[in-house]
Amino acid sequence: MKSRIMYIEDKSGGLIGPARIGRVTFSKTGSTIYYRGRSFQRVRGFKHNYEDVETGDPFWISGPKRNGEDSLYGGSTPTEIDDDVREEYWRDIRRQPESVTA
């Protein structure tokens, strides 16, 4: 399966929610994303673009931006970065390799 580093924001608590940067995999058609044992189905929702298949919780999932303003509404939201993608994220996406250990 194809994988990619993505920005994942939980919208179940409101317009701004907890966010992560992590590696996801895609279904063959690309309409389902898999992350940490969860499945997210693409939808045309209000202020979200994916829903958790089991719970129906809304999520905003997108490719991370070089400037770090990944939130749906722009700006920076406190974002956890998974350890297994930290180096690649700072080096290849943000182009700030010195920030890997920060």
Domain residue spans of the chain? 3-99
What is the bridge-based pairing of β-strands 58-62 and 38-42?
Answer: unpaired
Q: What is the pTM of this model?
A: 0.89
Each residue's pLDDT tens digit, 49-73: 999 999 999 999 999 999 988 887 7
Task: Report helix, strand or coil for 3.
Answer: strand
> What tokens does 24 get?
């996801």
pLDDT at position 69, please?
85
pLDDT at position 16, please?
84
pLDDT at 100 over 90: no
CA dihedral of 67, 72, 78, 83, whole degrees rounded to 10: -70
